[in-house]
């Protein structure tokens, strides 16, 4: 806010590419914590093809948007860039081969960080402090680090809705729908309240399979029922049990990814925690039992903030988070 609109020092560029679109921000390298004055957001997600994340589709949006931001910020170029992307670890091979040259040619960029979105999420929430960040929405993953230890990233869960993502939106919604259909059948563990809620949302129970299985976005359909489960938890013991079990899974996942030692910070990020205290309170209680030496803190910022922070750290040769070549890769280009 207090920054001049034409920063005197060098600028850095942060990029956050995910399922909901592409976002860019430029900030002074010396003050990445300040709200960036110049940002770009598009709701067109970068395509993923047979060769992974489509680097040329990304660049077609990124280069002109970054140029616009550069001009608006009055910067001559970018001292460093950090690109955070969902799927970077497994689908980022084309980004790794194409981006360094393209950004060097367009903006003279010589320092580039390529990060998984979980890493930019970590840096946004905790900076470079030791701890663990839970990212929870439709899915759920925890990422932990202790920069002082020399160890790599510690990851737990994030296996998707069939193999894990325990406690996620899809997990809570799925458990709620199972409880609804148990009530429909007269099986144990059923919840008439959740059956009513499910039929209000999806129509008669018999039509539920036909509304779910043909969809490509089944995890999102399941997760769309999670707010109903959280709402019913106030008066329905089955719904309350589902939310309580989800909270236990979330805390267990955080504990598994938390680096050993004391003074660790735990941050809960992602849309799932908008369910509110009905979920947050039992997560904190379970965390206090599982990680007695840790502090639960509000995340300082989001993944775009994290990308800016990492770019600024890279510009200052001060990256301390684990650089493992997969979740976080640094490319120094030219002399």
Residues at the site binding a second copy, with contacts judged by CB under 8 A: 90, 155-157, 159-160, 162-164, 166, 174, 177-178, 181-182, 185-188, 208-210, 212-213, 218, 222, 252-253, 256-257
C-beta of 1: minimal distance to a second copy in Å? 41
> CB 125 → a second copy: shortest distance, Å?
20
Q: Which is nearer to a second copy, 9 or 203 (CB)?
A: 203
Shorter beta-carbon distance to a second copy: residue 74 or 160: 160
- DSSP letter string over 43-102? S-PPPEETTEE-HHHHHHHHHHHHHHHHHHHT-SSEEEEEEEETTHHHH-HHHHHHHHHH
Minimum CB distance to a second copy, residue 78 (Å): 33
Pairing assessment for the beta strands 328-332 and 111-116 based on DSSP bridges: antiparallel
Burial class (CB in 10 A: 0-12, 13-18, 19+), 256: middle
Residue with smaller CB distance to a second copy, 40 or 171: 171
Closest approach, Cβ 42 to a second copy, in A, equals 26
Q: Which is nearer to a second copy, 65 or 85 (CB)?
A: 85
Q: How far apart are CA 283 and CA 218, in angstroms?
A: 26
Based on CB atoms, which residue is closest to a second copy, 73 or 170? 170
Q: CB of residue 186 vs a second copy: minimum separation in angstroms? A: 5
Rounded distance between C-alpha atoms, residue 246 and residue 230, angstroms: 11
Contact 158, 90 (CB under 8 A): no
The answer to whether residues 84 and 307 touch, using CB atoms and an 8 Å cutoff, is: yes
């Amino acid at each position: 806010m207090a920054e001049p609109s034409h920063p005197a020092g060098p600028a850095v560029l942060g990029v956050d590419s995910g399922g909901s679109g592409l976002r860019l921000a430029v900030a002074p390298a010396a003050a990445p914590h300040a709200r960036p004055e110049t940002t770009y957001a598009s709701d067109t997600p970068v395509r993923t093809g047979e060769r992974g994340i489509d680097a040329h589709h990304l660049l077609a949006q990124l280069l002109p948007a970054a140029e616009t931001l550069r001009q608006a910020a009055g910067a001559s170029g970018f001292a460093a860039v950090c690109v955070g992307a969902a799927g970077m670890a497994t689908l980022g091979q084309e980004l790794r081969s194409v981006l360094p040259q393209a950004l060097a040619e367009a903006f003279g960029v010589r320092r580039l960080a390529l990060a998984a979105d979980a890493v930019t999420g970590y840096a946004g929430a905790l900076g470079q402090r030791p701890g663990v960040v839970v990212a929870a929405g439709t899915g759920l993953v925890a990422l932990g680090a202790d920069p002082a230890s020399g160890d790599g990233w510690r990851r737990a869960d994030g296996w998707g809705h069939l193999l894990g993502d325990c406690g996620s939106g899809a997990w809570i919604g799925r458990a709620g729908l199972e409880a609804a259909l148990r009530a429909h059948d007269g099986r144990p563990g059923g919840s008439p309240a959740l059956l009513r809620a499910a039929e209000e949302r999806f129509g008669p129970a018999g039509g539920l399979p036909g509304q779910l299985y043909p969809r490509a976005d089944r995890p999102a359909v399941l997760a769309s029922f999670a707010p109903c489960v959280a709402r019913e938890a106030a008066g329905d013991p089955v719904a309350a049990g589902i939310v309580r079990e989800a909270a236990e899974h979330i805390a267990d996942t955080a504990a598994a990814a938390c680096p050993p030692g004391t003074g660790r910070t735990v941050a809960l990020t992602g849309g799932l925690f908008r369910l509110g205290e009905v979920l947050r309170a039992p997560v904190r209680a379970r965390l206090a039992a599982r990680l007695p030496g840790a502090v639960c803190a509000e995340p300082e910022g989001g993944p775009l903030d994290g990308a800016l922070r990492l770019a600024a750290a890279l510009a200052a040769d001060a990256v301390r988070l684990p650089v493992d070549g997969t979740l976080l890769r640094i490319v120094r280009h030219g002399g």
